[in-house]
A = this chain, B = another copy of it.
Amino acid sequence: MDVRAYTPTREQYVYTFGGAAPALRVKPGEALRLWSDDAFGGALQSVDDLSAAKVDLRFVNPQTGPFYVEGAQPGDTLALHLVALEPAREWGASAAIPFFGGMTSTDRTVSLQAALPDTTWIYELDRARRTVAFAARHSDHRIELPLEPMLGTVGVAPAGNEVRSSLVPERFGGNMDTPQMRAGATVFLGVNVEGALFSIGDGHYRQGEGEACGTAVEGAMTTTLIVELIKGAAPAWPRIEDDTHWMAIGSSRPMEDSWRIANAEMVHWIGQLYGLHPIDAYQLVSQVAQVPVANVVDANYSVVVKVAKALLPDAHAFGGIHDDLRARARRL
């Protein structure tokens, strides 16, 4: 199978879900190789590049896309299978942005306190060792951490003619910032507009769950993915399937609502996959779910509810398309 490559120029960066003209038209079944810039548009290159001077929070997470998927109609399901994520630079950047993040007051959880010091960290990538190196700013500590590439944002155009900042995670996906969004995963998104208009960006060379300081090890990324379309069957909220888990992702505030969304989605999904009564599915999910928090720093907080396939009998979602995509990925 051919892989179609696309690298946006800086002028082609898009900072919203919805509201932008398609970068390309793609057919279901096509494989794409997409370059995406980091969350800061590459603006933080050394520890002396501070976010207050270099980053405008209205224009972060530049998206690569959007891509018009032929045949996609509202109510359909877009399936994106992430084949490979490879760092596209030799370093990643992270920052404690004033009044942004989980351990500071923010523009929403407002206080009268002074901001934490605006600080930037640069992580050097070692491709051979598959590591990125944390280097403390106030001491000599240097700690190599495993490279674990993921995408912070994967989304489609919203419903109801809305246009949302690429900082937002929502029903349409977006800036969910979950480490589960990695190579080998198939993400399912409900289509809201003709052509779906999906985009990706905000690559992370690694990220802790919660993305506590507001930023991961942000890095330009080369993503290989396969696009598929399932007619109808749109899930209300994003779902992910990989070889080991079923996952649903809720994004709202307060965080218990994010969980309620994701957990209800999982109850309905497990109920449907196994033919269980909702109250039985509720009980079963209660005893088998894993709940890794995704982010507690974005415009909405995101929570993943996942269930290990190994705990349950065999089942196939969306016509077993994940297994098929895995097979196709191996042939790329």
Is the pair B105, A286 in contact by a Cβ cutoff of 8 Å? Answer: no
The residue of chain B having its C-beta at the shortest distance from the C-beta of A94 within the complex is B283
* Of A22-30, A33-41, A78-86, A130-138, the one with at least 4 CB within 8 A of chain B: A130-138
The residue of chain B having its C-beta at the shortest distance from the C-beta of A164 within the complex is B162
A264, CB-defined interface residue at 8 Å: yes
Which residues of chain B have C-beta atoms less than 8 A from A115's C-beta? Answer: 113
Cα(A253)–Cα(B207), bound, Å: 25
Q: Given A212-B289, A305-B210, does the pair A143, B103 have CB atoms closer than 8 Å? A: no
Which residues of chain B have C-beta atoms less than 8 A from A51's C-beta? Answer: none
Q: Which of B104, B213, B287 contacts A208 (CB 8 A)?
A: B287
Q: Which of B102, B145, B285 contacts A212 (CB 8 A)?
A: B285
A290, CB-defined interface residue at 8 Å: yes
| Interface flags, A113-128, vs B, CB<8A=1, else 0 | 1111101010000000
| Interface flags, A246-258, vs B, CB<8A=1, else 0 | 0000001111110
14 A-B residue pairs with Cβ-Cβ distance under 8 Å, sorted by A, are A96-B279, A111-B113, A111-B264, A112-B267, A112-B278, A116-B279, A136-B283, A137-B283, A143-B312, A208-B286, A212-B285, A217-B287, A254-B256, A256-B301
